[in-house]
Structure formats: C-alpha cells, structure tokens
Amino acid sequence: MREVVLYSPIVLDGETYETVLAPLLGFTQSFQIIFPFETKHWMQFKIFGKNGLIESIETGPGSQLPVSLSKIYASKEFNYWVTVDVYKGNKFTHVETLKIKKSLIEVSSLCVLYIFILNMESTPIFDQYCFYIHRLKLRSVLDYKNKLPLLAKDPQEPRIVKLAKEIYDISINFDKYFYSDAARDLNNLKPNEVVESVENYISALIGFIGQENINEITKSEDSSLEDLPKEEDKSESSDESEKEDEDKEDKENTSEKDDSENKEEEKEDKPTIESEDGEPVEDEEDKKKLKKVEDKLKEVKITASANGKKLTDNIRKNLRFSWTTLAGKERSVNTSDSLVELCNSIYNLGIWYLGYSEYLVSSKSGDDGLDEDTRKTIYDYLLKAAGIFHILENRFIQSLSLDDKSNSLDFNDIFLRVLYLQCLGQAQEITIGRAFKNNTSPKLILSLAVETCNIYKEANSLLSSSVENLIESRVEKLSNFFQYKLQLYNAFSYNLLAFLQNAQYKYGESIATSKLSKDLLKQTTTLIKPAISNTLSVGSLQRPVNMLTKIIDLNLARFERENKLIGFHAVPEQPNLDDLQTGTKLAKHRDFQLPPQSEIWSPDLITLFNPQKKLSKADITPSVTSPTTTTTTSSSSSPSDKKK
C-alpha cells in the first residue's frame, strides 16, 4: 500500500484546521480522516458517495474517538465528499465541504473510513496547546498496601502494615495529579498540589534508598569552590564605605576587649587541680579519657551510617517497577531499583512543567500578550523543568540500575541534555516576548534571538549525532521541531539585523538582509509539515510564521521605499552579516531540591525487612490510564435527540 497523506484545510470560527487522510496499517485498504477542532459546539458530519448520502454523524463537545465506522466499497478512484456543519442558534449551519478525490488504492478492495473527532475541550490540553510537549511517562502501579508487607520478616508486623498503607495512599495521590480526570482539568488544577504530590512520593521512596545514599548522589562536586570567599573590590573608596570600615574597626576593637575579659572570667571560673605544693596542674588523664569517648562516639556514628546504608542497599532493589519511555526502541523499562522509580517521578514533573507552561501561554494570552505575573510563572516552570533534567543528567544517571537500558533513551545523558536545552530555548522565547512588550532595544532582542538559535542548534545537533535511527527511537518529530525552531529564529534574527542596519542608514544592506530573512522564513514553512505530530498541530506551527511574514513584508517595503527616496544605495547580492552579534543567554536553570526522607520512616523500620525477599514483574499492575489516551463521553444529549 502506498503511503499517501492528503491535507485539506477547514475554516471554523475564524481558525483554519487541517483534516488528515492517512492510510492505516492492516490487511484491508483502510484510511483515517482526523478532524482536530477547537470548538464547544455540536458537530455534524455527512459522508457522501457517488450514490448520495452514506452516513450522518453527530458529535458533541464531550465526544472522542472513535465516533463512527463506515464501510465503503471503493473503486480505484477514491471519490467522496464530507460536509461539516456546526450547531449554532438552534440549527446546524454549514461550514465546509471536503471533496476527497485521490488515487489511493491500486485494486478494488473494501475500504474502511474511520471518522475521528479530536475535541480540544475533552482531550488533554497537553496534546493541542503545546509547542512539542512530550507525553507523560506512564507507570505500572505497585500495590504497596498488599505487596510491601511481603518483603518484611513478619508481614503482620503492625508498623510494616502502617507503612505500607501510608506509602500506598501517597502513591495513589501521585497518580491522581498525573493520570486522573482531575489531572485534565487544567483550569482548576493547583500546581502547588501537583508538586506536593511528587515531593511526598519522592520523600517516601527515599526511605527505601536511604538519606545517606541520596546525599552522596546529590552532593555537588564543586561545593568546595562555592564555599570560597569572593574577593572584594578594593577599588571603591567612597566616604560612606570608609565610614563603614571605621565603624567595623571600632566594633572589632570592642569585641576584642570583651573577648579578653570573657576569657579571663572563664579562666577564673575554671576548676583546677592543685599539686601538693599548691601549684595547679593539667589533668592529662582526664583529657585522654575524654578523647577516647569522643573517638568512640565518632566510630559509633560511622558504623550506624554504614549499617543504615547497607540495610537500605539490601531493600532498595527488592521492589519492582515499570515505566513507559519517551524515546528509544523500548516502549517500557522494568527495574527493581527504587532510585529509578524516584527519577521517573521527577522526570514526569519536568514534563508536566513543560506542558503546563504551554497551557498557560495558550490560555492566558490576551490581545496584548501575557500579563507579567503569568509570564513569570511560565518562565519559572520552564527553568524548574530545566533544573530537573540537569540534576538527572549530572547526578543520577550514573547510579541507576535499569533493565534494557541500552534501548531506552530517557536516561541517556545526551537525551537529558537535549530536554534541558529545549526548556532553556522555550524560556528564552518567553524572555523575547517580554522584551518586545517592554519596548526593549532591538539590539538586545537580536542578541536573545541569536542565542535562542544557538540553543536549538545545539539540541538538534546532539540529537541527530547521537541517535542512529531517529524514527525507530521516536525522536524524529523532536528533531524536525528543533530544525523548525532554528530556522524560524534565524529568520527572526536577520529581520532584526536588517532593522538595525536601516537605523544606521545602511539602506542597501538592510534590504539584502531583509530579503535573506524572507527566504529563510519560506524555508521554515517547508519544515511545518514534517514537524506535525499528535502533540504539535499545524496551527501552532503556522501562527508564528504568519506573524513574522507580515512583519518582514512591512519592513522590507519600508526599507525599499526609504532607499528609493533617501538612500539611493546599491543592494548587494549577499548581505553583510558582520553586524550579527553574539548571543545572550538570560535563561538559567533553577536547581531542583530533593525533599528530605519522609517522617513515616522511623530509624529502625528498615531493619524489619528481609533482604532475601524480592518482588517480581507479576506483582505490578498494568500502566495507569494516561490523560493523553483517556476516552470520555459527553453526558449531554445531541441536538437531534432534542428535536425528537
């Protein structure tokens, strides 16, 4: 069967949407038509063949795939029409007629035409509002309440039963904020509760791993450098600073006198041991005894710490977990390591930060863009997400125990770096938007745009050079997205450069640079189709291009007009790009701080487990339902039912 994709635009409520006709895999010649609409209205679809109406389908705001299945006997020439009507004002209003005429099949065969309605009001907003947002990772649920006691020396031990119940409740609450219906309702979702659910679960998992082990993993290698005092600038010698120095000296002199007096008082109060002739002597024997006691205490602490590590190491890898993957040939990865469970939980929070930030961009943008508070929130989430991928890359991946690690890219250091760069790139975009709104100088905006290009260029270069087969590893769309972003911001940068050149009366050069910007933007348009995915719609990719096209066209017309009336400069064939400055990176990740071990773990609780007992794959239940795949049905009745 030949791979054929047919795109047909539909204009609805002033917005243009794409219908996608694509072949499905199977023994029959099957085709899928997808209508991604953003509407709260009831929709009516009518399928017509050469003999008239074949089927009429109604779907409401709560409907989701699949809505209907129509069997059509097709000839070599696939020739059908689909009409689209919207229910407004107590009646269906015709919106669009799609004529599908394409040689899609070589022989006469039974075709199955699937009609899918992807309604943005009922499906997870992550999939429609995001500029490439990765789907949340799914996890197979471990029933802590019933399975954890199996690892104990005595499964009936009350403290173990209580611990199992508490971790079970924490785990269920974690699922609630990522995979339930409440997780979809982003309008009413409280982000601080999502973060709290993750921190509580991580805090509980640390009990299996050991706080000492966690501290060792997250300890900064260059903490010693950070602790070094910074050299003060001695060049500043204002009267005010001199006065402060004098005050400081007076305080130091006063404190020295006080210290000497205190020392004399302490010396007088200190009990002494006198010799036979009345002279005081130091009790060397007592000093030796005291030193022995201190050494013994240190030894006990070290032993206790070592024993605690040993005990947690024994139980840390006795549980069983399974998670789906974002990238790589393996769709899921199994592990017995509680640290992997902890890392996947943090990973999901990073993805959630990305998704929720894009939801805020789409839902909170007014006619004049984002307000300052929302912009700060989005910026904060993106940098926190970057901090999560940064700590996973630099602190955790070396300590993980993963089955099938070679076929999973999720915890590959390069892939984590790519996600980190994606977060920084999108944060830079937020900064550029703020700079425009605040009428910041074009020179600074150009510097930000150039660095945004550099970020996406590095991300795509890392991804393309490190992954052998992008398609098999499920990162082809991500690579296409980075190429799209890189080209878009290249065009944007050259447009700003042309503006600056024109302001410097370089009329001919500004025209040449502006034309280059326009050519780059045309190339960007060709990258839209390859970047389309379930999480990335045509509209979200087309809108920035349309906006920038208008700006470039207006600027180019102005530059040509000014050159014709004022400059009379020759337009060079190749623009002079020497003025293109180096980039400025304002976005810096925010460190992710792990919470401390949960209070539900008492110091000796770990000793109640049997290191020889282990769970197996059979002890975990299948993955929870993802909000990206959950199907819901509207409880309301259709307009046709009301008429009846």
Provide the percentage of residues in the chain whose pLDDT is more than 70. 59
User: What are the backbone dihedrals phi and psi of residue 21, each rounded to the nearest 5 degrees, phi first?
Assistant: -110, 115
The whole-number pLDDT of residue 83 equals 61
The overall average pLDDT reported for the chain is 72
CA dihedral 119, 125, 128, 130 (to 10 degrees): 170
Answer with the residue of higher pLDDT: 436 or 172. 172
Q: What CA–CA distance (Å, rounded) separates 615 from 208? A: 14
DSSP-derived 3-state class of residue 284:
helix
Q: Are 184 and 630 spatial neighbours (Cβ–Cβ below 8 Å)?
A: yes
3-class secondary structure, 239: helix
Sequence-distant (≥ 6) Cβ neighbours of residue 284 within 8 angstroms: none
Q: Which of 413, 419, 415 is nearest to 463 (CA)?
A: 415
Tell whether the model's pLDDT for residue 77 goes beyond 60. Answer: no
Return the sign of the alpha-carbon dihedral for residues 474, 479, 481, 484. negative
| Gap between the Cα atoms of 180 and 346, Å rounded | 18
Over residues 191-204, mean pLDDT: 96
Amino acid type, 52: G
Instruction: Give residue 252's pLDDT.
Output: 42
Cβ neighbors of 305 (< 8 A, separation 6 or more) are: 212
Enumerate the H helices of 365-506 as residue ranges: 372-391, 413-437, 442-466, 476-503
- pLDDT (tens digit, 9 = 90+) per residue, 104-129? 322 222 233 333 222 222 222 232 33
**How does pLDDT run across 484-498, given as a tens digit for each residue?**
999 999 999 999 999
Q: Return the minimum-mean-pLDDT range out of 91-105, 154-168, 358-372.
A: 91-105
Of 35-49, 221-235, 244-258, the range with the highest mean pLDDT is 35-49
Q: What is the pLDDT of residues 404-417, one digit of tens each?
A: 455 678 999 999 99
Q: Which of 70-79, 106-115, 367-376 has the lowest mean pLDDT?
A: 106-115
CA distance 465 to 458: 11
* Closest to 379 (Cα-Cα) out of 439, 418, 430: 430
pLDDT digits (tens, 9 = 90+) for 336-355: 999 999 999 999 999 999 98
Please write down the long-range contacts of 164-171, taking CB distance under 8 Å and 24 or more positions apart.
166/204, 166/600, 167/204, 167/600, 168/143, 168/144, 170/197, 170/200, 170/201, 170/204, 170/598, 171/141, 171/142, 171/144, 171/201, 171/204
CA angle 3, 545, 513 (to 5 degrees): 120
Per domain, the residue ranges of the chain are 6-123+632-643, 128-217+318-623
Residue type, 237: S
Contacts of 77 by beta carbon, 8 Å cutoff, 6+ apart: 101, 103
Radius of gyration of the chain (CA): 33
Query: Among positive and negative, which fits the CA dihedral 154, 158, 159, 162?
Result: positive
Bridging pattern class, strands 6-12 and 15-24: antiparallel
The packing angle between helices 442-466 and 413-437, to 10°, is 160
Shortest CA distance to 76 belongs to which of 106, 45, 43, 121?
Answer: 106
Global confidence as pTM: 0.66
Sequence-distant (≥ 6) Cβ neighbours of residue 187 within 8 angstroms = 363
Fold entry, domain 128-217+318-623? 1.25.40
